[in-house]
Amino acid sequence: MCGILVSNSNKDIPYFESRLETVNFRGPDNLNLYQVNGLTLGHLRLSIIDLEDRSNQPMKSGKYHIVFNGEIYNFKELRDELLILGYKFKTESDTEVILIGYQYWGESVVDHLDGMFSFIIYDLNKNVLFGSRDRLGVKPLYYSYVNNTFEACSQLRPISENKQICEEALNMYYDLGYIPAPYSIYKDVKKLKAGNCFRLDLELGDLKTWPYWDIKPLLKDDFNSIRKEELFSILEDSVNKRLISDGLEERR
């Protein structure tokens, strides 16, 4: 599962550690935080791929830092591609593949990822935070940006201190039975939409969000073109991708 946290507020490490511990069910295997250039990055790890400590997060490569929640199903293929391009890896993790991939592809790295994910990368060269959420929003990402103070987390609880209930979102819950993104139950806290990215320029204080993917409209003929065998192959491939983790491949 894992949990991520990023903030540029001036609170110390013990404060953020206590906040992450309120949601430690997301990652019982490791809790780690560090600060860089006025930013705090924190991570709760549930070890799935590369179980060694070398793959604990936050993870850094040069002047790039990442916190990541999820699983990238095609990380081995992407890793091989980046190795051919001359990039070096220190782990066997999908986390590092995202981080190295960002160094090569920039923000378009999301177009190469097949998986479920939410992540935030701090680019020290540009003093920019870049984050994204998977295409269907399997992995959550909440954020708040008020008076130049940015906070983001996998859960609401660590960033909900002193926040007020959003009546508009509450009415949505009564009407729909859930609160649609970009709203959350709290004022000034938003949920990043599925298939969206964000970029926060910490120098300019400029926050932008945009979609990188959406569902394409289907025509009636599109369904007729998919044969039973093709559908079975697609489903089998989808299931196999989700079984990729240390130990599972050998047992299949």
Q: Which residues are catalytic?
A: 2
CA angle, corner 189, sides to 184 and 195, nearest 5?
70
CA-to-CA dists, residue 31 to 2, 4, 21, 22, 168, angstroms = 10, 10, 8, 12, 35
CA-to-CA dists, residue 90 to 53, 65, 122, angstroms = 11, 14, 19
User: Cis peptide before 180, with omega less than 30 degrees from 0?
Assistant: no
Supply 152's token pair.
């983001």
- Classify residue 174 as exposed, middle or buried by CB count within 10 Å of its CB (0-12, 13-18, 19+): exposed
Supply 201's token pair.
């320029």
